[in-house]
Amino acid sequence: MEIAPANYCIANAQIVDGSGGRPFVGDVEITGDVISGIAPAGRGKGEQRFDVNGMYLSPGFIDIHSHADYTLLVDGSAESALLQGVTSVVTGNCGHGVAPCPSCARDMMATNIFGWRRDTEIDESWESFGDYTDCLRRRGVGVNVFPLVAHGALRIALSGFEQRALTASEKASMRSMVCEALQAGAVGFSTGLEYAPGIAADFDELATASEPLGDFHALYATHCRNRTDAMAEAAIESAEIAKRAGSRLQLSHFLRRPYGPRECDKRAWDALSRFESDGLVVRSDVFPFDYGPTPLAVLLPLHVRTGSRLEIAGRLEVPQIKARILNELSGMFGRAVEAGLAESMYVACDGTRGGELVGRTLGDIARDQDISVAEAALWLLSRAQEDFYSVMIVERWVEEADLRAALRDPRYFIMSDGVVASQNGRFHSSGFSLSDWGYVPAYLGRYVRDFGLVSLEDAVAKMTRAPADQIGLSDRGRIAEGQKADLVLFDYDALETSVAPDNLTCTPRGISQVFVNGVWAVKDGTITGARPGTVGIARY
């Protein structure tokens, strides 16, 4: 359903314009897909005039860290984003992406992206990054999509999940693919260095792939190698890559893990300060929950991840291979289990259409099966068969005091680390994170309004102007004449969410109207069905 832009006047709004300045009462005029004027209250003009009686009006929120690469292909309605006032999403984070996707790598690509299951496959194919963005445009999206090109997708296309250094020619090919993606509208390059296959990449590979970023004024976004005992070293590697590329740096959810040494994040930021003094722009992002998403497949070593989905699923049935996985258990999952966090690991998606185990903890499942927590995790992966990568947990990822410090820190953007879905769509039984349906009201309602961590105007700037600047958008993120008409009308006192680790899909409250490119996407709290979103950044 397409609803054409019109000539509107939103009158008597408390305008929080994204600049960080104090709210003011005024009228906002919309002509076509742009804001055509800001007028004193009662003086705005438009064919259709809506008096909002002092409700708050802000720019559309920009989710700078999303994993909706595939879920938006399957279901472009973007209901869960729009109902929170999110009008733009940046996909391809943490090295996870779906393009480029040569036909020879398609089956492997599905083992590294959330939501790509046999029952959610679509009758579309793409090879280049440009093919993928064209596919999104053709299918239609309710929000603007500004993708990063993901290192994991590039490595799968070149070498699958092989645990080896790339050859010189493969590194040159990776660099060319990054350049092609940037030409096709990617806003930057992302890496996920605690995940397969990114964990096998060395510094030279990452630096070579990042070389085109400076020429395109693009972003280097990284889920770095370590957020515990070697957090400072991981930060320095990230900064060196961005510095060589001449790009901005974004460190994904860059906070100490609950089992990490005290002060390790402070030491990391101290190490980054010398890069900042040399002019490197260093930022991070954070979501407003102490429970975060993790694909359970992170516990699988690279030697298990080679071949097709069916081949990998078959290995999970072999006793000797299962025993080897358990004996070699390390990394994020191993550390979390050692720290006794199993009771806080809730199943967000069990990899099946029915989702019978969603909301249970790994501790619950281990007790039911009379097995260890690690064995329960392997049992879940095996149970999902070829859709093992969609098995997702939400777990304690940060201590509350550290989270609050980041939520008020001007160096951190507010994001979701989630996906985009709808309650009646093909992912209705699949969760990814608490943020999918609730990060905006959790931040603005709980941490800003109730706890007073920052002012409303600063909070809105962290979700609008600041991320727009970070990804190079000059025409979004502000309420000003000539900006694209991405707008959100909300009742500040009513902002609320009920999402919880065992209940991820709850409609947010307090946001009533959302415009995307001048089109009414949410009207009186209800999705209109419009798909006015654009895809990619225009550089030429």
Residue with the bigger pLDDT between 100 and 300: it is: 100
Query: Which CATH number covers residue 113?
Result: 3.20.20.140
Quote the number of domains for the chain: 3
DSSP run (H or E) holding 391: strand 391-396
Residue 439 inside a domain? The answer is: yes
Task: Grade residue 5 by pLDDT with cuts at 50, 70 and 90.
Answer: low
Q: Tell whether 280 and 322 lie within a shared domain.
A: no
Per-residue model confidence (pLDDT) at position 28:
97
182 SS3 class: helix
Q: What is the DSSP string of 287-344?
A: -S-SEEEEEGGGGS-GGGS-S-HHHHHHHTT-HHHHHHHHHT--HHHHHHHHTT-GGG
CATH number at residue 45: 2.30.40.10
Among 372, 396, 420, residue at a domain's last position: 396
Q: How many CA atoms lie within 13 A of 170 on its CB side?
A: 17
Looking at the structure, do residues 213 and 95 belong to the same domain, yes or no? yes
Report whether pLDDT(511) > 50.
Answer: yes
Report if residue 533 sits inside a domain: no
Q: How confident is the model at residue 331 (pLDDT cuts 50, 70, 90)?
A: low
pLDDT at 4 over 60: no
Mean pLDDT within 503-531: 96
Give CA angle at 287 (472, 516), nearest 5°: 50
Q: Are residue 409 and residue 459 in the same domain, yes or no?
A: yes
Compute the distance between CA of residue 311 and CA of residue 300 in angstroms, rounded to an integer: 14
Residue 497 counted as domain residue? yes
**Residues 320 and 375 occupy one common structural domain:** yes
Q: pLDDT at position 231, please?
A: 96
pLDDT at 38 over 60: yes
Task: Quote the CA–CA distance of 526 and 82 in Å, as a whole number.
Answer: 10
Same-domain check for residues 122 and 213: yes
- Residue 540: pLDDT over 60: no
Task: For residues 411 and 463, state if they share a domain.
Answer: yes
* Residue 538's pLDDT band (cuts 50, 70, 90): confident
Is residue 123 located within the same domain as residue 71?
yes
Distance from C-alpha of 511 to C-alpha of 525, rounded to nearest angstrom: 6
Are residues 280 and 406 located together in one domain of the fold? Answer: yes
pLDDT at 1 over 50: no
Which pLDDT tens digit goes with each residue over 270-316?
999 999 999 999 999 999 999 999 999 988 888 888 888 899 999 99
DSSP state of 349: E
Single residue among 396, 413, 436 that ends a domain in this structure: 396
CA 371 remoteness from chain centre:
34
Distance CA 463, CA 447 (A): 14
132-187 pLDDT, tens digit per residue, is 999 999 999 999 999 999 999 999 999 999 989 999 999 999 999 999 999 999 99
Answer whether residue 146 is part of any domain.
yes
Flag whether 536 is in a domain: no
pLDDT band at 2 (very low <50, low <70, confident <90, very high): very low
93, 207: one domain: yes
Does residue 200 share a domain with residue 146?
yes
Residue 55 in any domain: the answer is: yes
79 and 48 housed in the same domain = no
> Is 319 a member of any domain?
yes
Among 59-63, 234-238, 502-506, which is the least confidently predicted range?
502-506
Q: Which amino acid is at 357?
A: L
**Model confidence band, residue 6 (pLDDT cutoffs 50, 70, 90):** low
Quote the domain boundaries for residue 25: 7-59+476-527
Residue 320 and residue 212 in one domain: no
Nearest to 189 by CA among 224, 221, 214: 221
DSSP letters spanning 460-483: HHHHTHHHHHHHT-SSSSS-STTS
In a domain, 534, yes or no: no
- Amino acid present at 174: M
Tell which of 373, 396, 419 closes a domain: 396
Average pLDDT, the chain: 94
Cα–Cα distance measured from residue 516 to residue 519, given in angstroms and rounded to the nearest whole number: 5
